[in-house]
């Protein structure tokens, strides 16, 4: 599906789990190699003590590496989120952001490790930072990537 990038961002931002939590895709590169996601503190994502609800912090990171890899690798690959965890380092207040980036080296490594049809479980780390650029949380993701068998 080759939708314009502005429409893809709009669809992300209107997706009910993101919309309800206040999660916004701020930037998305046309090649799906980089993304920036932001979350403003509001009534819908505030916890009992007035800071960001941990589930919203994790949710803002959830689909991106999987979708970015699907776009980069193409339809010849299976890509799934396998595991994920979050390490909360300090209370999140105000607007927080998560940056996603896929390097040439990461993509080459994934292609090389899956060339023979074997699965590969790349690990990614996403930093969630506040407006002062202080680390709020670290999210660790393990993905499942496998090249689809030839259908000749």
pLDDT, tens only, 116-146: 999 999 999 999 999 999 999 999 999 999 9
Quote the pLDDT of residue 91: 96
Is the model's pLDDT at 77 over the cut of 80?
yes
Residue-wise pLDDT for 7-36, tens only, equals: 999 999 999 999 989 999 999 999 999 999
State the burial class of residue 141 (Cβ atoms within 10 Å of its Cβ: 0-12, 13-18, 19+): buried
Cβ burial 28-55 (10 Å sphere, 16+ → b, else e): beeebbebbbebebeeebbeeeebbbee
Quote the pLDDT of residue 152: 55
Where residue 1 falls among pLDDT bands split at 50, 70, 90? low
C-alpha–C-alpha distance, residues 40 and 96, integer Å: 6
β-strand pairing of 34-40 with 23-28: antiparallel
């Amino acid at each position: 599906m080759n939708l314009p990038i502005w429409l893809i961002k709009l669809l992300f931002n209107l997706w009910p789990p993101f919309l309800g939590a206040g999660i916004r895709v701020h930037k998305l590169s046309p090649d799906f190699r980089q993304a920036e996601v932001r979350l403003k503190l509001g009534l819908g994502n505030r916890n009992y003590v007035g800071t960001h609800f941990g589930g919203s912090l994790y949710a803002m990171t959830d689909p991106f590496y999987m979708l970015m890899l699907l776009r980069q690798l193409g339809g010849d690959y299976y890509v799934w989120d396998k595991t994920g965890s979050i390490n909360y380092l300090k209370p999140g207040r105000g607007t927080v952001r998560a940056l996603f980036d896929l390097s040439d080296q990461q993509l080459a490594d994934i292609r090389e490790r899956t060339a023979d049809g074997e699965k590969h479980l790349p690990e990614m780390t996403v930093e969630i930072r506040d407006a002062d650029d202080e680390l709020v949380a670290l999210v660790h993701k393990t993905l499942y990537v496998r090249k689809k068998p030839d259908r000749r």
